[in-house]
Amino acid sequence: MTDFLLVRHGETVWHAENRYAGRTDVALTERGHAQAAELAAWAAGAGIDAVVCSPLSRARLTAEPAARALGLAPRVDARLLEVDFGRGDGLTRTEMREVFPERLDAFLRDPVVHHLPGGEDPEEAAARAADCLADLARELPDGRVLVVAHSTLVRLLLCRVLGIPLGTYRTVFPVLDNGALTELRLKDGRASLLRLNAPCALSPSGTH
């Protein structure tokens, strides 16, 4: 079995205005860097065998302190990129309503069938992320892997591997906090969710 510690990157400068951050390379805030340091302190005693992250700087800068604490080189995998939000990238929900109100309403009804205009098909995003984890599970069949990625991608990934309809990702997994841990176990082609959105201040066993 392979255990994956899935982490959303640290807080970025767009969080205060709740802007959709897809492929735009948004900088971490001071709090985001602090969250990366907290993750590193946790990871140092968590028995991690590999650190893999999205190419975007907000994910790399969150992953790199943990990799250093473990004496590992972080591995970058483009399959962990955030979903491309197309014309919605960089906008708030209010701004989207001004620019494409009907498409926004459709997105809120079903974000997979009616993904944001010009954006990536969430089915394809979920498939690439699942392929990444499957490859890592084959490479590290008894390992623990820290994966630093993005909110929408991780929620779609969880739905994909757990057999949950992708169109429900926003309601089944409404929030993934910056720097929080979600633990997923892959064993014999089946997935188990061991914990969701847990503070990294918890010990590796999940207890205080």
Catalytically active residues are: 9, 82
**H/E stretch holding 101:** helix 101-109
What contacts 97, CB < 8 A, 6 or more positions away?
Answer: 104
Per-residue CA distances from 93 to 84, 97, 167 (Å): 16, 6, 19
Longest dimension (CA), the chain: 50
Q: Determine the Cα–Cα distance for residues 131 and 137; give it in Å rounded to an integer.
A: 10
